[in-house]
Structure 1
Amino acid sequence: MTFILPLDRITSQDAPRVGGKALHLGELIQAGVRVPPGFVITTDAYHAFIASNGLHREIESLLARLHWDSPELKSEIAELQMCVRAQLIPDEIQNAIADA
């Protein structure tokens, strides 16, 4: 798994792992446009974070209970955010970010 990808190494094949904005920055760099150095945290890091904290079922459960037209939507989403924020980022992801 690749948790971090420098912008200058992003190619079109990385689109699902890095998203559109990072992909376009990578394309600009490949085209010779000056772009400040940077990196993207990939979806591999997200999936590893979710797996290491056992959040998959909890997130699915919370999402299944969301009522998109409910006046309580904000509080339901806040519950999901608190659940995610309360977790620890695995050392391997923290180290990859620190080393970037």
Structure 2
Amino acid sequence: MRNAVIITTLGAALLGAGPAMAQQSYPGTVTRANPGTGDVTLTTGKTYRVSKPVLLYGLMPGAHVVITVAPNGTVGIRQNEGYRDEAMSQQQ
């Protein structure tokens, strides 16, 4: 029994020490959002289907967002807080 506990603990430690798979992030500007299907299209022409379509309600064309794709295939969307319009900042 003691050997099983040591082997299990060692296995868990080795699994935890492996390289972490990071999510992919894609910043962009929205051209179209469909809360019914969960589809959001960016100005790049790429369309993503978010895992929680309710997040698209109120999302308007021109919104600056970041699409995230997790290793398990979950697709999320959030407002791009770091977006800075270079043209606007040069006018100030």
State the TM-score bracket (shorter-chain normalisation).
under 0.3
Task: Name the TM-score, length of structure 2 as normaliser.
Answer: 0.24
Task: Name the TM-score, length of structure 1 as normaliser.
Answer: 0.23
Higher strand share: 2
More RCO (CA 8 Å, sep 6+): 1
Higher helix share: 1
